[in-house]
Structure 1
Amino acid sequence: MRESHLSLQHPKEPQVASKPAADIINSIGGADNIVGFTHCATRLRFTLKDASGIDQAAVEAIPLVLGAVPQTGNRYQVVIGGAVETVYNDIMALPEMKNHGTGDSIADVKAAERAKGPRGKFAALDTFFEILSDSFRPILGALLGASLFITFMALMATLGVIPAWNAPGVTLDPSWQFINLMWQGVFVFLPLMVAYNASKRLGADPWVGFGIMAVVMLPGFAALGQTAGAESVFGGHASVVQIFGLPLTVTDYSSQVFPPLMMAAVLGLLTKGLKKIIPSSVQLIFVPFLSMLIMIPLTAFLIGPMGVYGGAGLGNFLKSINDFSPFIFAVVIPLAYPFMVPLGLHWPLNAIMLLNIQSLGYDFIQGPMGAWNFACFGATAGVLFLAIREKDRLMKQTATGALAAGLLGGISEPSLYGIHLRFKRIYPRMLVGCLVGGVIIGLGGGVKTSAFVFTSLLTIPAFDNIPLYAGAVAASFITAMVLVIISGYKTPEQKAEASAAIALAAESNEDAAFASNAAAPVVAGGTGTATAVATLLATIGSPVAGIVVPLADVPDPVFSKGIVGIGVGVDPTEDTVYAPAAGKVVVAQPTGHAFGLLLDSGVELLIHVGIDTVNLAGKGFDVKVAAGDRVEAGTPLVTFDRKVIEDAGYSLVTPVLVTNPRKFGSIDEVSSGQVTAGAPLITVAAK
């Protein structure tokens, strides 16, 4: 079971994994050597296939690594300290680690959000949206790149450099025609890309799916609609020609997305059926052949026209709502998107946007959607402002990356999953921003765009009414940002945790370097400027009755070497652990095995109940406090069942460690032998 770290960090959307993360994985034999992977309060915990060939010195030479601890049973621990979760997330962002690890990852956040809606309750619906998502996600980069070319053409037309490039009958100069072709390759052949991705996702040969969809996009297929006897239908948008006595609807499949999705769904089922009846020795030949033999006519005669006109029907339905009341439409869309995106329900709307552009020549959904996107980015900007003011380095990094992805790329997921869904106070403020932007667009009569674009700063020129759209998204952004700055995004408990976490993170490297040179508690005068007459700053009582164990004798090298902090161990004789002094609970592990306290004296204290007891996943522990609680000396933190721990083979020795020793002049062990709970255990002197 995954354990939270002592120094609470802000989880973030994995982006580019750091080099130390890759170096750690390579140093232990690569991802293929990993059987299990999690982390605890200070260290990465690996279960490996083979730990015998690891060069421990090489592991410990990696930046951020404070130490490495081989264990029995091919288990291996890499000590990181307060930044353990950041490193864990960086490792999990590595492509080769896709199938390893557990815990509160971005995928977990997405799954938790899906569970709140219909996707989490109906497996078939969940599968449908996963297929839809996987069909589009790999080509989002190409769509984004192409959309910027379209935006550039729109900007040139707005400035009068070129005529209205997408108006009927307009002929551009050959130079501008060439620039205009740069985006068309993506959008004209979009059905082929979707067919490939969807076929692959559904277990069919993706190139077979590509080839099937390519048939209806051939110039020769379009020419069939111009043959003698072809009948024009649907206002000239399609033609019907007789093929072997059957009516074939010939239409333009450029930029269509519903036909390839429907084709891939049928192809996937057909492929599974054919593999059941065709011997494996000849499947390579006959499965593709029979798939194409069946699916090409089926797509051309039935699936293709159904997809084109079914999608057009959905688009016309939304258009009728927009035509009836642009104001209502412009308000509803940005207010719906913050709930649709976490559930993955926005993908069908993306498909309809593309279809609108192909059939109508413009889209009316993306403008209101921009109000949601910029409200999302504005809330992230508010979080970034507060992170800078509070000197919260990790949140600053998370918010900076998310804001850049949003404003420059129009991508909301890093903000949404990395920040907003984790700090629920943000959502109401963000919705106000969505409402303000939607109202402005609605009052202005709506906005349109002739391109499928990602609503970012760079694509504002792609909309027909630039001042209206720019004003609306600016209002969305500023409203959400100001509201987050004014009200904050953390609960009181999260504020208490974060303030202590920031202090811990700021000193983690210095503390680790200092502590790694000490294998036993420091004596008076042993930390540089401290002297034998240093001013006593704090006396820390024993959190549990028991027998004092010198730090060097604690049965865990991570603790005994002083890597985590300076202090002593206590072998308990009773079953309740108490707060040794007044302060704030920074971390209270749900498993009950570890607590981080920020004492009123400024001492940051780790109490780790037993060795490797995280593996009990809370069994035998009854936690009495939560993170953010105020405690006094003698407040119970946890009770434990000695028999459960001992029967599992774990030591009960409880390290009591000062994790920020660099702040102080000396940290002295003042007791030995038997101690009672609350009896003086450690003294801390000022510099």
Structure 2
Amino acid sequence: MASKPAAEIIQSIGGAGNVVGLTHCATRLRFQLKDASGIDQSAVEAIPAVLGAVPQTGDRYQVVIGGAVETVYNEIMALPEMKRISSGGSSEGDSVADMKAAGKAKGPRGKFAALDTFFEVLSDSFRPILGALLGASLFITFMALMATLGVIPAWNAPGVTLDPSWQFVNLMWQGVFVFLPLMVAYNASKRMGADPWVGFGIMAVVMLPGFTALGKTDGAESVFGGHASVVQIFGLPLTVFDYSSQVFPPLLMAGVLAALTVLLKKIIPSSVQLIFVPFISMLIMIPLTAFLIGPIGVYGGAGLGNFLKSINDFSPFIFAVVIPLAYPFMVPLGLHWPLNAIMLLNIQSLGFDFIQGPMGAWNFACFGATAGVLFLAIREKDRLMKQTATGALAAGLLGGISEPSLYGIHLRFKRIYPRMLIGCLVGGVIIGLGGGVKTSAFVFTSLLTIPAFDNIPLYTIAIAAAFFTAMILVILSGYQTPEQKAEVAAQVAADEAETSKKSAHVASVAAPVAAGTAGAGVATATSAGTATAVATLLATIGSPVAGIVVPLAEVPDPVFSKGIVGPGVGIDPTEDTVYAPAAGKVLVAQPTGHAFGLLLDSGVELLIHVGIDTVNLAGKGFDVKVAAGDRVEAGTPLVVFDRTIIEDAGYSLVTPVLVTNARKFGPVEQAASGHVQVGSPLLTVAAK
């Protein structure tokens, strides 16, 4: 069944016809729109699944979801009206490339377009593997914790040999970090329009054990203190590095490969491109990467890392203060991605990183400001902000992800930033005075990764100070302007008025019961002889098809019979047409005709699944009468099916009718047994 939030999000940004492209990061949906000027941001942010919305330049628009972003993205892409996006088409005949070009032409990006593209590429090269990096880093955190507790020796110290059992645990993180260049090569190549597997294969050559062995052959000269070797290949000097965990070489390689791919496709006939574009690309790029691009990437990354290290060595105090104060401005611009790459390089080349400790001061100041907003939202009964801040705080404290807080709250309320910066300063000063902290893992600075740092007491004190400083300042001074406070107060008053109205309605319905009258549709319970209403009927759902009622437990499909999809009943049809049981909107109308999702005006989401496993008929025997988005009334035909075709194929005609959002309501009860006609009461749904 289609996701209601997915449909609401698309509708709120102007419909699928306004969407040029859609991607997502760890927490945000990233839309490229035809025209973002007319979007009502408050309407977008009022959607329950949305933590915040951020307009950007060039008709780009970001919707902050949080940890469930991938699920919402998939649900959006599954909407029938979004099919053209995934296929690269357009409802108006324009290509995606044309629409993007038009968007860029009228947007204010101007000379900054190249810079925007650079950081988009950098972001997209890392984004798909952040989960793997985080998972692997938690294994390193666990190893560090075991060493701190004395369970194992210092696992990453030179010459230390672990017990085989702990060696196996230690291997669990190495697959991600050792082969990180291959992952980055794949993502970057794909993002820049080259064959990602060709990029993967090119980078794989310099990571082969045989390539590394070239540096140990007779005549090889050791350089860089033994960290690399130079060997003559056909009279040319080849610098042999250990490319494990390197990220700059695959990024540079992907950029050159993308340009080469464009050139080759211009000069090679399309009929033989499948063979010769990959072959010639590899023929050129493998030597070019091994002899030139790889060393440049290593030298360049090492240069950036050494520059930052020299600042840290000169004054850990200055470094520890500058980093957390800079991050709040770097993250919105995407400038933090190069630093992430340097952190990974530091771990590979130095065995530790010195940036993530000060970065933790920024993260926890950010989370502290969110906690302050949450406190005020609870006190002020601001339902929407409470929802946004709760999700953002959970993502931060448990996942170390700052984007939901930053985009969902902080960038929307300008009073927050100065108070958050004071928290960053306090945390950075404490780390600087303590001489800095280091970590041997690339981690998202959350509560779970505190053991990854070498000086746990210092780091813990610093991030706690950053958190509570920002939180207390936000609570004391507030985060809203007088106008914003007035707007929230008006919304809260409206919500309370609506709640009072509903309560009055419930009381009026329940009054006959209290007076001893048998009120239809009202369940009662007695205590000490007094009748009390406990469940008020919200909706009665009629049967969508004539037939014999089948209790849910007897439906011949365990997914339905066990109530996994939702409560309801089955119907063994005696006629061949399925109708809408009540007025509402069609959320899903499968083209195969086997399933329909309806959002009734009562708020009930209903799934009608015509037969069991009938999807395998691929539409044969089904005549669909409606489409997703259609408005239907009680009695509107949804589908006509040929029972002979279904039965001859060996499939059951039992049709489950299920309430899929039952958690919003009270009990969902079967209201009929035996034979029912179309529209006869089938289910009752009580108010919660």
1:239 alignment partner, SS class:
strand
Match status 1:326 vs 2:307: no
Q: Report 1:518-529 matches (<5 A).
A: none
Match status 1:21 vs 2:5: yes
Post-superposition Cα deviations, 1:482-516, rounded to whole Å, max 9, x if no partner, equal 0000011111000000011123234557768999x
Q: Report 1:167-566 matches (<5 A).
A: 167-508=157-498
Q: Deviation of residue 83 (structure 1)?
A: 9.4
Post-superposition Cα deviations, 1:303-343, rounded to whole Å, max 9, x if no partner, equal 00110111001100100000000000000000000000000
Identify if the C-alpha distance between structure 1 residues 82 and 187 changes in structure 2 by more than 3 Å, giving closer, same or farther: closer
Q: Deviation of residue 45 (structure 1)?
A: 7.3
Partner of 2:74: 95
Question: Does the CA contact (< 8 Å) of 2:12 and 2:44 recur in 1?
Answer: no
Question: Does the CA contact (< 8 Å) of 2:221 and 2:231 recur in 1?
Answer: yes
Amino acid at match of 1:454: F
Post-superposition Cα deviations, 1:230-267, rounded to whole Å, max 9, x if no partner, equal 11111100011111111111110000000000000000
Question: Does the CA contact (< 8 Å) of 2:44 and 2:50 recur in 1?
Answer: no
Q: Distance in 2 between matches of 1:277 and 1:310?
A: 33
Amino acid at match of 2:441: A
Question: Does the CA contact (< 8 Å) of 1:82 and 1:508 recur in 2?
Answer: no
Match status 1:85 vs 2:46: yes
Partner of 1:162: 152
Amino acid at match of 2:5: A
Post-superposition Cα deviations, 1:284-316, rounded to whole Å, max 9, x if no partner, equal 111111111100000000000110111001100
- Number of residues of Structure 1 aligned to a counterpart in Structure 2: 442
Q: Distance in 2 between matches of 1:18 and 1:166?
A: 49
Identify if the C-alpha distance between structure 1 residues 46 and 219 changes in structure 2 by more than 3 Å, giving closer, same or farther: closer
1:253 alignment partner, SS class:
coil
Amino acid at match of 2:212: A
Amino acid at match of 2:313: D
Identify if the C-alpha distance between structure 1 residues 88 and 509 changes in structure 2 by more than 3 Å, giving closer, same or farther: farther
Post-superposition Cα deviations, 1:605-644, rounded to whole Å, max 9, x if no partner, equal xxxxxxxxxxxxxxxxxxxxxxxxxxxxxxxxxxxxxxxx
Q: Distance in 1 between matches of 2:277 and 2:373?
A: 54
Q: Distance in 1 between matches of 2:199 and 2:347?
A: 24
Q: Distance in 1 between matches of 2:159 and 2:272?
A: 53
Q: Deviation of residue 85 (structure 1)?
A: 3.4
1:339 alignment partner, SS class:
helix
Q: Deviation of residue 139 (structure 1)?
A: 0.7
1:217 alignment partner, SS class:
coil
Question: Does the CA contact (< 8 Å) of 2:145 and 2:451 recur in 1?
Answer: yes
Q: Distance in 2 between matches of 1:454 and 1:18?
A: 33
Identify if the C-alpha distance between structure 1 residues 272 and 514 changes in structure 2 by more than 3 Å, giving closer, same or farther: farther
Amino acid at match of 2:74: P
Question: Does the CA contact (< 8 Å) of 1:378 and 1:479 recur in 2?
Answer: yes
Q: Distance in 2 between matches of 1:220 and 1:46?
A: 51
Q: Distance in 2 between matches of 1:187 and 1:223?
A: 20
Q: Deviation of residue 21 (structure 1)?
A: 2.8
Q: Distance in 2 between matches of 1:406 and 1:324?
A: 32
Q: Distance in 1 between matches of 2:497 and 2:183?
A: 50
Q: Which runs of 5+ in 2 are unaligned?
A: 20-41, 54-62, 64-71, 91-107, 506-583, 585-600, 602-688
Q: Distance in 2 between matches of 1:84 and 1:133?
A: 25
Identify if the C-alpha distance between structure 1 residues 357 and 423 changes in structure 2 by more than 3 Å, giving closer, same or farther: same
Q: Which runs of 5+ in 1 are unaligned?
A: 1-16, 26-30, 50-80, 102-117, 516-556, 558-562, 564-687
Identity rate, percent: 82
Post-superposition Cα deviations, 1:445-472, rounded to whole Å, max 9, x if no partner, equal 1111111111111111111111001000
Q: Distance in 2 between matches of 1:122 and 1:294?
A: 32
Post-superposition Cα deviations, 1:124-155, rounded to whole Å, max 9, x if no partner, equal 11111111011011111111111110000000
Q: Distance in 2 between matches of 1:235 and 1:213?
A: 25
Partner of 1:640: none
Amino acid at match of 1:472: A
Question: Does the CA contact (< 8 Å) of 2:144 and 2:452 recur in 1?
Answer: yes
Identify if the C-alpha distance between structure 1 residues 506 and 191 changes in structure 2 by more than 3 Å, giving closer, same or farther: farther
Question: Does the CA contact (< 8 Å) of 1:444 and 1:468 recur in 2?
Answer: yes
Q: Deviation of residue 282 (structure 1)?
A: 1.0
Q: Deviation of residue 46 (structure 1)?
A: 8.2
Question: Does the CA contact (< 8 Å) of 2:2 and 2:75 recur in 1?
Answer: no
Identify if the C-alpha distance between structure 1 residues 271 and 20 changes in structure 2 by more than 3 Å, giving closer, same or farther: same
Q: Distance in 1 between matches of 2:435 and 2:355?
A: 13
Task: State the TM-score, normalizing by the size of structure 1.
Answer: 0.61
Q: Deviation of residue 97 (structure 1)?
A: 3.7
Amino acid at match of 1:413: E
Partner of 1:126: 116
Q: Which structure ranks higher in relative contact order (CA pairs < 8 Å, sequence separation ≥ 6)? A: 1
Q: Distance in 1 between matches of 2:170 and 2:410?
A: 38
Q: Distance in 1 between matches of 2:502 and 2:412?
A: 29
Identify if the C-alpha distance between structure 1 residues 194 and 86 changes in structure 2 by more than 3 Å, giving closer, same or farther: same
Question: Does the CA contact (< 8 Å) of 1:240 and 1:248 recur in 2?
Answer: yes
1:232 alignment partner, SS class:
strand
Amino acid at match of 1:373: N
Amino acid at match of 2:396: G
Q: Distance in 1 between matches of 2:225 and 2:120?
A: 36
Q: Distance in 1 between matches of 2:503 and 2:15?
A: 21
Q: Distance in 2 between matches of 1:124 and 1:409?
A: 31
Q: Distance in 1 between matches of 2:235 and 2:17?
A: 66
2:150 alignment partner, SS class:
coil
Q: Distance in 1 between matches of 2:350 and 2:43?
A: 56
Q: Report 1:616-635 matches (<5 A).
A: none
Identify if the C-alpha distance between structure 1 residues 467 and 495 changes in structure 2 by more than 3 Å, giving closer, same or farther: same
Identify if the C-alpha distance between structure 1 residues 208 and 514 changes in structure 2 by more than 3 Å, giving closer, same or farther: farther
Q: Deviation of residue 390 (structure 1)?
A: 1.1
2:377 alignment partner, SS class:
helix
Question: Does the CA contact (< 8 Å) of 1:82 and 1:504 recur in 2?
Answer: no
Question: Does the CA contact (< 8 Å) of 1:379 and 1:481 recur in 2?
Answer: yes
Q: Deviation of residue 123 (structure 1)?
A: 1.6
Q: Deviation of residue 392 (structure 1)?
A: 1.4
1:140 alignment partner, SS class:
helix
Amino acid at match of 1:86: I
Partner of 1:654: none
Partner of 1:9: none
Q: Distance in 1 between matches of 2:145 and 2:116?
A: 40
Amino acid at match of 1:408: L
RMSD: 3.1
Post-superposition Cα deviations, 1:42-82, rounded to whole Å, max 9, x if no partner, equal xx978799xxxxxxxxxxxxxxxxxxxxxxxxxxxxxxx99
Q: Distance in 1 between matches of 2:154 and 2:504?
A: 68
Identify if the C-alpha distance between structure 1 residues 398 and 224 changes in structure 2 by more than 3 Å, giving closer, same or farther: same
Amino acid at match of 1:135: S
Amino acid at match of 2:46: E
Q: Distance in 2 between matches of 1:398 and 1:348?
A: 29
Partner of 1:531: none
1:292 alignment partner, SS class:
helix
Q: Distance in 1 between matches of 2:315 and 2:227?
A: 27
